[in-house]
Amino acid sequence: MLQVKQQLLVALGQALETLSPGSGDKAAFESPKVAAHGDFAITAAMQLAKPLQLNPRQLGEQLRQALLASAPFQQWVQDIEIAGPGFINIRLKPAAKQEIVREVLAAQDGFGVQPSQGQRVLVEFVSANPTGPLHVGHGRQAALGDAICNLLATQGAQVYREFYYNDAGVQISTLANSTQLRAKGFKPGDAQWPEAAYNGDYIQDIANDFLAKKTVKSDDREFTASGDVDDLDSIRQFAVAYLRHEQDLDLKAFEVKFDNYYLESSLYTSGRVESAVQILQAAGKTYEQDGALWLKSTDYGDDKDRVMRKSDGSYTYFVPDVAYHITKWERGFSKVVNIQGTDHHGTIARVRAGLQAANVGIPQGYPDYVLHTMVRVMRGGEEVKISKRAGSYVTLRDLIEWTSKDAVRFFLLSRKPDTEYTFDVDLAVQKNNDNPVYYVQYAHARICSVLLKAAGTSDDVVDTLALVDGKVPRSLIADFVANLKDADLSPLDSPAAQALMLQLSKYPAMLSAAAQDFAPHDVTFYLRDLAASYHSYYDAERILVDDPVVQRARLALVAATAQVLHNGLAVLGVSAPTSM
């Protein structure tokens, strides 16, 4: 159907060009607000009527006649109607909609995926300081970042995942001091315990392993503890490595991987922070006042100029951010996306101002930002605020253990990032249609069950197969589906079948728009709609009927549906089970 749509768009462009030279680029189809009005809508007649000094309906009729005379519209369109002030509603022939089934089955995992565009994109996300376990907010960021990476990859981008973290500074000093106090036998509540210290039980765990002289290894570092409670530097390095390892375990449980870990400290040791400051000074974009160095950020739309170097000689936190983003540009990333909490909103203007002031060729609006709110967690009808392990918040691993990786990912992606979200643990473990991830996964599993039965694989036979994680391997189903590609699809002419096929055809455009807008929540909405269309179809028509031609056609349709469900879930990092 995608090819059908393209043929119709070309014919529409040619017709518009004939009626109004230079208007061919206005060829576009919209989705009617009311499904009963048709499959596509055209608004070009209303757009062109005024400059052509024609009545929109009259122009619409001229356009209708031109379209009816074109070969693609004769082949694929059943009817064209003029409605309202000049809307043109198009109703496709069943054969046009049936083409989408062949396209999905032919492309399989590649359906909706665009060829490589050569653009290198860096997505920075999670970026949690190694001072404690990953909390639910980090989980939302991990889900968003990973799904956005997957979305961009479907549109031909070369995506690079990066984790940036502060391995120095006040928070790391607090971590080291808190661990040292625990190693010396002190605990929260003691007179010697500072108010700013970290109180979670994980600090005692770090102290115990430090005293045991253990070695910890994370994706980016390895360190062996000295065991000396007075060796604060060893405590600091061990604590950072320990928590980086803990974060790795959290991310592994969430099935998130990074291509690189970038240390903030390296920006200082490599001289990049000083270099960035010198570039800004040389460009005449700074000035001294009250013993501090200021950036003229108001020249670039900021509401006030910003301090870069304080009177004590230390840099404010946005300065290394500017240096860091210059490195991203120098590494060849023409597009950069940062996934951060809404508390970072104030840094956007000053970082972009610093990058423009540096005048190193970075375009305006670089980098892109996706800001997300925090997440409330409800369990047993009450808000959960404290994790014993973390001390003050619910950890990502808590949430995964209470529910599942799939539920956490789907739920955290089911709303726009900047909207408040409440994660309902009780809903996430329910096995009914109220649970959105179960609803979508069940649609996929339900189709797989039908395909296995059609393939002659009874439950007894399935029991003897070498299952993968207790599930029927997709390869077994794929072998059967491969034989459906040449099925006669003409029996797929019922309203329910056509509605399902039309829903399938929306996937590529939805995927492209979601990537453009950094909106993985659009994928969750689409998958729920597709699952609903399938369940409605299943209720309306038996699939395993006696007529072999009808059965093969219906099997091809549901197999295509399973494929698109699988593809969409993969973008979200959620599994598509073959049985439930």
Q: Please name the amino acid found at residue 293.
A: L
Q: Are 26 and 48 in contact (CB under 8 A)?
A: yes
Q: What is the CA radius of gyration of the chain?
A: 29
Q: How far, in Å, are 167, 211, 318 from residue 173 at the CA level?
A: 10, 19, 20
User: Residue range 273-299: average pLDDT?
Assistant: 95
pLDDT, residue 200, reads: 86
| 28-56 confidence digits (pLDDT tens) | 998 887 877 888 999 988 888 888 888 88
Residue 558 has pLDDT above 60, yes or no: yes
Confidence bin at 394 (pLDDT 50/70/90): confident
pLDDT, residue 457, reads: 53
Residue 418 has pLDDT above 50, yes or no: yes
User: Residue range 221-247: average pLDDT?
Assistant: 94
Domain ranges of the chain: 2-92, 171-254, 436-572
pLDDT, residue 461, reads: 40
Q: Please name the amino acid found at residue 215.
A: T
CATH of domain 436-572: 1.10.730.10
Confidence bin at 181 (pLDDT 50/70/90): very high
Residue 388 has pLDDT above 70, yes or no: no
Classify residue 199 as exposed, middle or buried by CB count within 10 Å of its CB (0-12, 13-18, 19+). middle
97, 92, 89, 94: which is closest to 32 by C-alpha? 89
Q: How far, in Å, are 39, 72, 86, 98 from residue 68 at the CA level?
A: 16, 9, 17, 21
| 116-162 confidence digits (pLDDT tens) | 988 999 999 999 888 888 999 999 999 999 999 999 999 999 999 99
Residue 395 has pLDDT above 70, yes or no: yes
- Which range has highest mean pLDDT (4-8, 86-90, 289-293)? 289-293
| 185-200 confidence digits (pLDDT tens) | 999 999 999 999 998 8
CATH of domain 2-92: 3.30.1360.70
Q: Are 80 and 64 in contact (CB under 8 A)?
A: yes
Average pLDDT over all residues of the chain: 91
Q: What are residue 405's phi and psi, to 5 degrees?
A: -60, -45
User: Residue range 543-553: average pLDDT?
Assistant: 96
pLDDT, residue 458, reads: 44
Beta-carbon contacts of 18 under 8 Å, excluding residues fewer than 6 positions away, are: 66
Q: Rounded CA gap, 251 and 80, in Å?
A: 53
Residue 57 has pLDDT above 80, yes or no: yes
Residue 239 has pLDDT above 60, yes or no: yes
